[in-house]
């Protein structure tokens, strides 16, 4: 087990207590309880260190978590955080395994980091991971028509962007689309980060009101009708990625009539919301069930 997995296990009882004070909203309507549907608890096989980039290109590795179920199965691209300048897929190994036990094939992928690689390199890597998932769908029991994205923090920014890009956006790739998004602690509007060093290192320039790259990297700026449904979760005491990032993004989704849900984790900050995310993980998986699985039943 990684250190993050150990910490998450130790904090699980405390996370359950905090979950009693969380608020789950579907639009402006509270969701009073989780679905009582019987949930899958499949055994999971893991294939590690698979290169998802074309031969001759830089090595980009992923771990594939496959439930022991008859396919083809819905799948999820899992995207780690780390402020775009650090992080690796081991950070999201716990979430990947738990989601796979719910019946999803999970591709837990790394991507190039800033400042050596600047945006949109990270987005292009995740789009390539989606292409790889589709081109290798038969080998990994993936249904290519039912793929979603899940990320936290920097990973959530990329996951949200994958769901919000559409024809007409310069970074859109039709063969790298997703059908649903789960995003936690999401920096959805980078135009609001006017200082610091992390976002400039990622985008390759300092903040400007008219910056095209700040807009292109902001899912809240590219929301449009027909985008993939989005489940958002966020700690209300998050000082690293302020709560208004997610709240304003949710409002933009609602205005465009994009299906969305918001799970507010009261009293938790950016790191604690990640470590104590068991309830958010279950509700996010319920959301993916509805948009990646139920439609075919």
Question: Which domains does the chain carry?
Answer: 3-296 (3.40.50.1820)
Indicate whether 36 pLDDT > 60: no
- Give the model's pLDDT for residue 297: 39
- Give the model's pLDDT for residue 250: 97
Indicate whether 218 pLDDT > 50: yes
SS in 3 state form for the chain?
CCHHHHHHHHHHHHHHHHHCCCEEEECCEECCCCCCCCCCCCCEEEEEEEECCCCCCCCCEEEEEEECCCCCEEEEEEECCCCCCCCCHHHHHHHHHHHHHCCCEEEEECCCCCCCCCCCHHHHHHHHHHHHHHHCCCCCCEEEEEEEEEEECHHHHHHHHHHHCCCCCCCCCHHHCCCCEEEECCCCCHHHCCCCCHHHHHHCCCCCCCCHHHHHCCHHHCCCCCCCCEEEEEECCCCCCCHHHHHHHHHHHHHCCCCEEEEEECCCCHHHHHHCCHHHHHHHHHHHHHHHHHHHC
75 - beta bridge partners? 105, 147
- Percent of the chain residues past pLDDT 90, beyond the cut: 82
Cα–Cα distance, 105 to 143 (Å, whole number): 9
Cα–Cα distance, 287 to 199 (Å, whole number): 30
Read off φ and ψ for residue 157, nearest 5 degrees: -60, -40
Q: What is the mean pLDDT of residues 117-130?
A: 98
Q: What is the mean pLDDT of residues 52-78?
A: 94
pTM for this predicted structure: 0.93
Q: What is the pLDDT of residues 86-115, one digit of tens each?
A: 999 999 999 999 999 999 999 999 999 999
- Give the model's pLDDT for residue 296: 46
Q: What is the pLDDT of residues 224-235, one digit of tens each?
A: 999 999 999 999
- Give the model's pLDDT for residue 4: 64
Q: Count CB-CB contacts under 10 A for residue 14.
A: 13
Report the length, in residues, of the chain: 297
Indicate whether 157 pLDDT > 90: yes
pLDDT top residue among 32 and 279:
279
Q: Count CB-CB contacts under 10 A for residue 169.
A: 14
Cα–Cα distance, 2 to 237 (Å, whole number): 26
Distances (CA, A) of 115 to 84, 198, 202, 203: 8, 9, 6, 8
- Give the model's pLDDT for residue 13: 74
pLDDT band with cut points at 50, 70 and 90 for residue 7: low
pLDDT band with cut points at 50, 70 and 90 for residue 123: very high
Q: What is the mean pLDDT of residues 120-140?
A: 98
- Give the model's pLDDT for residue 3: 63
Q: What is the mean pLDDT of residues 120-145?
A: 98
When mean pLDDT is compared across 13-22, 28-37, 199-208, the lowest value belongs to 28-37
What's the mean pLDDT when you consider all of the chain?
Answer: 92
Q: What is the mean pLDDT of residues 203-221?
A: 96
């Amino acid at each position: 087990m990684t250190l993050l997995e150990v910490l998450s296990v130790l904090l699980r009882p405390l996370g359950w207590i905090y979950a009693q004070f969380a608020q789950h909203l579907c639009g402006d309507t509270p969701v009073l309880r989780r679905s009582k549907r019987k949930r899958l608890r499949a055994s999971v096989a893991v294939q590690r260190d698979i290169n998802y980039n074309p031969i001759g290109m830089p090595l980009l590795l992923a771990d594939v978590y496959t439930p022991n179920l008859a396919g083809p199965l819905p799948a999820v691209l899992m995207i780690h955080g780390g402020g775009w300048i650090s992080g690796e897929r081991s950070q999201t190994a716990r979430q990947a395994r738990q989601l796979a036990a719910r019946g999803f094939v999970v591709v837990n992928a790394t991507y190039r980091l800033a400042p050596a690689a600047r945006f949109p390199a990270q987005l292009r890597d995740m789009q390539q991971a989606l292409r790889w998932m589709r081109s290798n769908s038969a080998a990994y029991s993936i249904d290519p028509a039912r793929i979603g994205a899940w990320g936290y923090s920097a990973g959530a920014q990329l996951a949200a962007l994958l769901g919000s890009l559409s024809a007409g956006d310069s970074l859109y790739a039709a063969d790298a689309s997703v059908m649903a998004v789960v995003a936690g602690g999401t920096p959805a509007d980078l135009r609001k980060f006017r200082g610091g060093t992390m976002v400039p290192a990622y985008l390759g320039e300092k903040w400007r009101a008219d910056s095209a790259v700040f807009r292109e990297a902001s899912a809240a700026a590219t929301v449009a009708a027909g985008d993939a449904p989005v489940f958002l979760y966020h700690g209300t005491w998050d000082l690293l990625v302020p709560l208004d990032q997610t709240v304003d993004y949710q409002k933009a989704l609602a205005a465009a009539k994009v299906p969305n849900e918001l799970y507010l984790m009261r009293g938790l900050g950016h790191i604690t919301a990640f470590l104590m995310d068991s309830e958010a993980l279950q509700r996010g998986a319920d959301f993916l069930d509805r948009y990646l699985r139920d439609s075919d039943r």
